[in-house]
């Protein structure tokens, strides 16, 4: 049914924004429990050390300190180690080397910030003061922070069961074919590419409030989670904190996550356990400094790559060797990021028959690394799109021409790295972006900039990514420890309003609006009659949560399935009550009608009929509420072309992004305004990665970029007005035809920026982030080589 004003395709303003912009959101730190105490963690100041002793006496003597708990007590109570839930097998058939990670370290600390003990006290200030008073004696060990150095002979060994710090040595594709393809090439482009380590920086830091009810032997955890049901499952099944039916996890309003709030961290585990130990509600909220040293970081790859081309510019072979830094411990999905979310996307938008990638994942004495917006796909896109632009320069071809020569044009297309692209029109996105960016007018703009003493450059990125992460059987076969379906329940109330209970979790993506839009469209109801319930394991039957831009393609599809069931029942009730054939029932104008007559029932009448059950068809169950689980048959494959135009000041290296154009294919678009907002946010993060963000450790493993004085986040003034466009193909894999949009901007934009800057300065040797200093150094190298000639 059409519902033009608020249905599919309408730019409906976000329903949730009223409470967010008036300060009425309810976040975890807003939760105040009776008898609440506060946790403060005693953290390692060393990157690598043995714990010799812990002296709690001074802290325990402070008035208002409830207890000081350590790792021996935690493990003594049977709390299990933190695990990585995705098993990756090395190419020699051996399992990955997962080192033990206790929520509170017992013998050894492995990164600055590793938790050693927790203080529970009456106030937050007191807890923090008392944590300072806990004396831990350490025996310092040498540390290693860089992925390649960690693999080097003689590097300090971080986990006993991971010799040489190697977690796995994994491959995908056919190496012999890739070698043969390169051997047959007329031209080979070869590059070393690093992908800088990032900190996720959601606006709301992580937080937990745990309560133990002794009489019921029941736990409640309020937490900043993107997936409360997964948290409950993991906390009960793996960490043994509480049985699943005795644990309620609530993720109320959550102020952004970007991946960092998928995982179950030491702090939540410890707060739950401490609430039982102390019989107090226990609250912990990270401050920004703590977030920098505890939130899982992202990216951090070092790669070498070779791409071969024939005389026509067609790719003959592609070989990639990557070392991925996973930090000190394996976080929940860490193993899957540099393997199944990265190397499987290395075919990009191109028809590459001969492809091989090798990935070694390593431990270092740094914060654990896991999925951060894009997770693996930005690393793949950056690598391919830097290679393509570089190859075009080396071959003397236009970057767009080289790409178009290699585009995939027939779907479904199976790549040699196990992905089956289902749909797309890469030419359409490229053409749309080139037109919107006025590529034809670039030479004139460059000449005009030159008159002002500025260097202007243009860079492309043609990205593809796999999101809508599922299907369960496929990910299970690849090592995932969970299924990746989604569930939903549609409840029509007796008064005809509708509640949608979903296992997806909204923490900035506008689900309360878009999810309501598809219901308003289907049942032709005012959007205000529909409300969305999420984020509470006691309310929503089950769910796998929000990451991998899956809530549209998977979460909303589950709602569609449940709506199918509701509609079937509504038709039966209406046909019975209106004495008509089910085939003649239509749903429109907020009513359920007999086509071609004036016989109609309002939704409130249908609802009332279902719940009073006075006059239902024989054998029909009373009530009107249906649930569904949805497991798609494939990922979705958003794709597009991004074109970045920059102006560099050669005096200072300062670079301005003067124009950024995006043409995306997100399939059916439910709410263009929300989708544009998602693209804007992703672009800000991608441009941030390309130009300013970088986590830096010194050689001893001390975090240098531990505050916003040293870790540069992009601000509004650093970013241009984006020019965002859509050229869509329908996704055949889900009932709405949607592809995910939540990560695309962060995936596609970094190579476009670096390609533009390197074009401007005439030096291809530039790594992210392109800070003024890095750009200036690259410019000096150009001047030096010109002087030498
Ligand atoms: N949508 C749409 N039409 C489409 C695709 C999506 O209208 N064709 C809508 C959806 O209905 C939803 C929103 O766009 O309201 C994003 O949908 P989707 O792409 O499915 O992504 P998710 O909802 O699963 O969100 C996850 C994604 C990820 S993985 C990260 S990381 C990320 C992102 O979303 N983190 C975010 N966007 C974020 N935005 C904010 N504000 N905060 C974060 O932490």
Residue 348's alpha-carbon distances to 154, 464, 632, 639, in angstroms, are: 37, 6, 22, 9
Ligand 1, atom 43, residue with closest C-alpha = 256
Task: Let me know if residue 278 belongs to a domain.
Answer: yes
Q: What residue owns the CA closest to ligand 1's atom 13?
A: 509
Cα→Cα distances 637→348, 433, 738, Å: 11, 18, 10
511 touches ligand 1 (CB under 6 Å): yes
Domain assignment present for residue 158? The answer is no
- Distance between Cα 366 and ligand 1 center (Å): 29
Burial 365-400 (b: 16+ CB within 10 A, else e): bbbbbbbbbbbbbbbbbbbbbbbbbbbbbebeeebb
Q: What is the CATH number of the domain that holds 567?
A: 3.30.365.10
* In a shared domain, residues 708 and 730: yes
Same-domain status, 119 and 252: yes
630, 647, 682 — which closes off a domain? 630
Examine the fold and report which residue of 611, 630, 649 is the final residue of a domain before the chain moves on: 630
Q: How far is the CA of 592 from the centre of ligand 1 (A)?
A: 33
Nearest CA to ligand 1 atom 34: 742
Q: Is 507 in the pocket of ligand 1 (CB under 6 A)?
A: yes
CA distance 228 to 547: 12
Among the atoms of ligand 1, which is closest to the Cα of residue 668?
A: 8
Residues 546 and 608 in one domain: yes
Kindly give the number of the ligand 1 atom that is closest to the alpha carbon of 675.
14
Q: Measured from the CB, is residue 682 less than 6 Å from ligand 1?
A: no
Please give the number of the atom of ligand 1 that sits closest to the Cα of 546. Answer: 24
CB atoms closer than 10 angstroms to residue 241: 29
509 Cα–ligand 1 center, Å: 5
Q: Ligand 1 centre from 765 Cα, in Å?
A: 34
Q: Atom 32 in ligand 1: which residue has the minimum CA distance?
A: 258
List the domain range (segments joined by +) for residue 359.
Answer: 301-469+634-788
pLDDT at position 784, please? Answer: 86
Q: Whose CA is nearest to atom 3 of ligand 1?
A: 669
CA of 508 to the centre of ligand 1 (A): 8
Quick one: 672 and 701 in the same domain? Answer: yes
- Look at residues 129, 114, 22 and name the one whose alpha carbon lies nearest to residue 328: 114
* φ, ψ at 315 (rounded to 5°): -70, 130
Q: What is the dihedral of CA 141, 147, 152, 158, to 10 degrees?
A: 30
Domain count, the chain: 3
**What is the domain-level CATH number for residue 80?**
3.90.1170.50
Q: Is the CB of 653 under 6 A from ligand 1?
A: no
Phi, psi of 421 (to 5 degrees): -65, 130
How far away, in angstroms, is 429 Cα from ligand 1 center?
A: 21
Query: 516 and 435, same structural domain?
Result: no
Q: Tell me, using a 6 A CB cutoff, whether residue 669 lines ligand 1.
A: yes
- DSSP secondary structure letters along 658-724: EEEEEEEE-BS-S-HHHHHHHHHHHHHHHHHHHHT----B-TTS-BS--STTTSPPP-GGGS--EEE
Distance CA 663, CA 784 (A): 38
Judge if 281 and 247 occupy the same domain: yes
Instruction: Please give the backbone phi and psi of residue 725, each rounded to the nearest 5 degrees, phi first.
Output: -135, 165
Determine, yes or no, domain membership for 547: yes
Q: Is residue 271 part of a domain?
A: yes
Boundary of a domain, candidates 602, 630, 658: 630
Query: Does any ligand 1 atom lie closer than 6 A to the CB of residue 549?
Result: yes
494 with 614, same domain? yes
Distance, in Å, from the CA atom of 384 to the CA atom of 347, rounded to the nearest integer, reads 8
- Rounded CA-CA distance 27/29 in Å is 6
Q: Say if ligand 1 is within 6 A of residue 354 CB.
A: no
Give per-residue pLDDT as tens, 208-264. Answer: 999 999 999 999 999 999 999 999 999 999 999 999 999 999 999 999 999 999 999
**pLDDT value for 4:** 65
137 shares a domain with 39: yes
Centre of ligand 1 to C-alpha 741, Å, is 6
Domain contains 123: yes
Is the CB of 546 inside a 6 Å radius of any atom of ligand 1? yes
Q: Is the shortest distance between the CB of 254 and ligand 1 below 6 Å? A: no
The SS3 call for residue 489 is strand
Atom of ligand 1 at shortest range from CA of 736: 8
- The Å distance, Cα 744 to ligand 1 centre, comes to 10
Cβ of residue 534 lying under 6 Å from some atom of ligand 1: no
Say whether both 373 and 399 belong to one domain. yes
Q: Which of 423, 509, 731 to mutate to test the pocket of ligand 1 (most atoms within 8 A of CB)?
A: 509
Q: Is 256 in the pocket of ligand 1 (CB under 6 A)?
A: yes
Residues 134 and 238 in one domain: yes
Q: Which atom of ligand 1 is nearest to the CA of 670?
A: 7
442 with 542, same domain: the answer is no
Let me know whether 271 and 308 are in one domain.
no
Query: Counting atoms of ligand 1 from 1, which one is nearest the CA of 741?
Result: 19
Q: Which residues of the chain have pLDDT under 50?
A: 1-2
Ligand 1: which residue has its CA nearest to atom 21?
Answer: 549
748 lines ligand 1 (CB under 6 A): no
**Dmax of the chain from CA atoms?**
94
Asked, for residue 449, whether it belongs to a domain, the answer is yes
CA distance 748 to 643: 10
Enumerate the H helices of 578-633 as residue ranges. 603-612
Ligand 1 center–CA 550 separation, angstroms:
8
- The answer to whether residue 153 sits within a structural domain is no
Ligand 1: centre distance to CA 407 (Å): 27
CB–CB of 90/96 below 8 Å?
yes
Atom of ligand 1 lying closest to residue 740 CA: 19
Ligand 1 centroid – CA 751 distance (Å): 22
Gap from CA of 678 to ligand 1 centroid (Å):
6
Which ligand 1 atom is at minimum distance from the Cα of 371? 31
Residue 118 C-beta-side C-alpha neighbours within 13 Å: 27
What pLDDT score does 1 carry?
A: 45
332: buried, middle or exposed (CB in 10 Å: 19+, 13-18, 0-12)? buried
In a domain, 171, yes or no: no
| Cβ of 275 less than 6 Å from ligand 1 | no
The answer to whether residues 165 and 363 touch, using CB atoms and an 8 Å cutoff, is: yes
Best probe residue, ligand 1, of 556, 725, 742, 746 (max atoms within 8 Å of C-beta): 742
333 lines ligand 1 (CB under 6 A): no
- For the chain, the straight-line distance linking the first and the last C-alpha, in angstroms and rounded, comes to 70
Establish whether residue 545 lines the binding site of ligand 1, counting it when its CB lies within 6 angstroms of any ligand atom: no
Query: What gap in Å lies between CA 222 and CA 209, rounded to an integer?
Result: 5
pLDDT of residue 727: 98
Q: Whose CA is nearest to atom 30 of ligand 1?
A: 258
Q: Which of 740, 744, 745, 748 to mutate to test the pocket of ligand 1 (most atoms within 8 A of CB)?
A: 740
510 lines ligand 1 (CB under 6 A): yes
CA nearest ligand 1 atom 27, residue? 742
Give the separation between CA 716 and CA 498, rounded to whole angstroms: 39
Position in ligand 1 atom list of the atom nearest CA 259: 31
Measured by CA distance, the residue closest to atom 36 of ligand 1 is 258
The protein residue with its alpha carbon nearest to ligand 1, atom 10, reads 552
With a 6 A CB cut-off, is 461 part of the ligand 1 pocket? no
CA of 244 to the centre of ligand 1 (A): 28
């Amino acid at each position: 049914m059409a519902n033009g004003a608020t249905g599919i395709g309408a730019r409906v303003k976000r329903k949730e924004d009223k409470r967010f912009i008036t300060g009425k959101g309810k976040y975890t730190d807003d939760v105040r429990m009776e008898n609440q105490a506060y946790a403060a963690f005693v953290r390692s100041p060393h990157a690598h050390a043995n714990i010799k002793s812990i002296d709690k006496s001074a802290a325990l003597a402070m008035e208002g300190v409830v207890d000081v708990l350590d790792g021996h007590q935690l493990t003594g109570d049977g709390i299990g180690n933190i695990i990585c839930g995705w098993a990756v097998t090395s190419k020699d058939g051996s399992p990955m080397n997962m080192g033990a990670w206790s929520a509170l370290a017992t013998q050894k600390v492995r990164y600055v910030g590793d938790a050693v003990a927790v203080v529970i006290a009456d106030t937050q200030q007191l807890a923090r003061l008392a944590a300072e008073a806990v004396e831990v004696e350490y025996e310092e060990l040498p540390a290693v922070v860089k992925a390649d150095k960690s693999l080097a002979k003689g590097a300090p060994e971080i986990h006993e069961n991971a010799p040489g710090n190697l977690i796995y040595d994994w491959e995908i594709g056919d190496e012999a074919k890739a070698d043969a393809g390169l051997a047959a090439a007329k031209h080979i482009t070869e590059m070393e590419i690093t992908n800088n380590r990032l900190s996720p920086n959601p606006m709301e830091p992580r937080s937990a409030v745990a309560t133990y009810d002794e009489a019921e032997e029941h736990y409640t955890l309020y937490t900043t989670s993107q997936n409360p049901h997964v948290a409950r499952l993991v906390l009960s099944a793996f960490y043994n904190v509480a049985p699943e039916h005795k644990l309620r996890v609530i993720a109320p309003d959550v102020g952004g996550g970007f991946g960092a709030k998928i995982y179950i961290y030491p702090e939540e585990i410890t707060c739950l356990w401490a609430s039982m130990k102390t019989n107090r509600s226990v609250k912990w909220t990270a401050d920004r400094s703590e977030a920098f040293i505890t939130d899982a970081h992202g990216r951090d790859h070092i790669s070498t790559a070779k791409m071969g081309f024939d005389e026509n510019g067609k790719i003959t072979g592609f070989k990639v060797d990557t070392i991925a830094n996973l930090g000190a411990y394996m976080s929940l999905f860490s193993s899957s990021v540099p393997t199944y979310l990265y190397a499987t996307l290395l075919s990009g938008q191109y028809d590459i028959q001969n492809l091989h990638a090798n990935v070694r994942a390593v431990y270092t004495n740094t914060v654990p690394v896991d999925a951060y917006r894009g997770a693996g796909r930005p690393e793949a896109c950056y690598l391919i799109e830097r290679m393509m632009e570089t190859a075009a320069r080396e071959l003397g071809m236009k970057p767009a021409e080289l790409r178009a020569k290699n585009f995939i044009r027939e779907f479904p297309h199976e790549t040699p790295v196990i992905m089956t692209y289902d749909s797309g029109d890469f030419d359409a996105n490229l053409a749309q972006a080139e037109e919107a960016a006025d590529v034809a007018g670039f030479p004139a703009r460059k000449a005009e900039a030159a008159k002002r003493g500025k260097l202007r450059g243009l860079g492309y990125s043609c990205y593809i990514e796999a999101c809508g992460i599922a299907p369960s059987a496929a990910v299970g076969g690849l090592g995932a420890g969970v299924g990746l379906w989604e569930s939903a329940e549609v409840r029509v109330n007796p008064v005809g309003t509708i509640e949608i209970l979903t296992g997806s979790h909204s923490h900035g993506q506008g689900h309360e609006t878009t999810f309501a839009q598809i219901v308003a469209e289907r049942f032709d109801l005012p959007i205000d009659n529909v409300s969305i319930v999420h984020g509470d394991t006691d309310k929503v039957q089950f769910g796998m949560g929000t990451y991998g831009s899956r809530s549209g393609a998977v979460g909303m599809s589950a709602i569609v399935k449940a709506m199918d069931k509701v509609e079937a029942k509504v038709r039966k009730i209406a046909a019975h009550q209106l004495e008509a054939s089910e085939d003649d029932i239509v749903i429109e104008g907020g009513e359920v009608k007999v086509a071609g007559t004036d016989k109609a029932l309002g939704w409130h009448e249908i609802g009332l009929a279902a719940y009073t059950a006075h006059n239902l068809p024989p054998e029909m169950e009373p009530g009107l509420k249906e649930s569904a689980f949805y497991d798609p048959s494939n990922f979705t494959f958003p794709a597009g072309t991004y074109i970045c135009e920059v102006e560099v000041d050669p005096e200072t290296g300062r670079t301005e992004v003067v124009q950024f154009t995006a043409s995306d294919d997100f399939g059916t678009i439910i709410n263009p305004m929300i989708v544009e907002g998602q693209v804007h946010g992703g672009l800000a993060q991608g441009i941030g990665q390309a130009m300013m963000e970088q986590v830096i450790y010194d050689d001893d493993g001390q975090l240098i970029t531990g505050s916003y004085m040293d870790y540069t986040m992009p601000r509004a003034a650093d970013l241009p007005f984006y020019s965002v466009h859509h050229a869509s193909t329908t996704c055949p894999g889900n009932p709405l035809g949607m592809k995910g949009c939540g990560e695309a901007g962060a995936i596609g934009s970094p190579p476009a920026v670096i390609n533009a800057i390197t074009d401007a300065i005439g030096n291809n040797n530039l790594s992210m982030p392109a800070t003024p200093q890095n750009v200036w150094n690259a410019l000096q190298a150009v001047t030096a080589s010109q002087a030498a000639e």
